[in-house]
Structure 1
Amino acid sequence: MKDELRSKRSAALPDETGGSLMGMIDFERRRIDVVGALAPPPDSVGTTGSFIRGVSKLKMDIEAAASRAGNQIRYIGEWHSHPEGMSSAPSKTDLAQILKLKHAMEIEGLPAISVIVAEKSVSVLIGGPEGAVHG
């Protein structure tokens, strides 16, 4: 998955990019598997310093991805890139967004996942009942 995200990042440079993550959450095994990263919706805006994921056709794309996998996967979070020369360490905006996503995902009893892809590193943020964890 890291290679796929790095490839999507490289293709969008010098702009940032991102999209939704699809995967599986196994509470019994305390495991999260990311199995796919959707392309950014057409109304997304990526610049050299920011990325705002759009919503056009997003629900349809998520449902189609789940259907292709026999409804064994679901939306589990978001991913985005950081520009050249920056690390994957979360910015203040990234931390605020994972907390916002955490509150939205809590409705279904799910953790929130955010993956940040940079040139030399990848960071994963997980928002759960205890708050956001950077790892």
Structure 2
Amino acid sequence: MYRILRTQLQGLTDGVHHVTANLANASALLNQALDKINWVGFYLLEKDTLVLGPFQGKPACIEIKVGNGVCGTAVAEDSVMLVKNVHEFPGHIACDSASNSEIVIPLHNAAGEIVGVLDIDSPHLARFDEDDKTGLTAFAKVLERIFA
């Protein structure tokens, strides 16, 4: 499934130089394809704060400081965060109390600097696994081309 999603994303973003439009389409694509999720979207890095970008789902937190919550930790550590139970994550920020698991993938520009994150939440515990981590990381690599 993730290979197909990467191909679709490539088709949607090729030749399109509008970051917001590309992120909006990427979130819509993932929202249609992934089951058992309740939020998918992006936060973009502005200095030491992640700011809400395009997404699919309920209204969300607007700003998250680097180092705070799952998204901020992903940026601080520059690593994918796969959290099976967000209620056990120290400092978890509950934008939607229905969310129980989460995966966050840092996004980089051509220079390797973090520019934001892809964030996906689920109302199910342990919704995300290593296959999701691998597939979504590869999906994010295709998307990173828009930050060149």
Normalising by structure 2, report the TM-score.
0.28
Relative to its length, the structure with more helix (as a share) is 2
Relative to its length, the structure with more strand (as a share) is 1
Normalising by structure 1, report the TM-score.
0.30
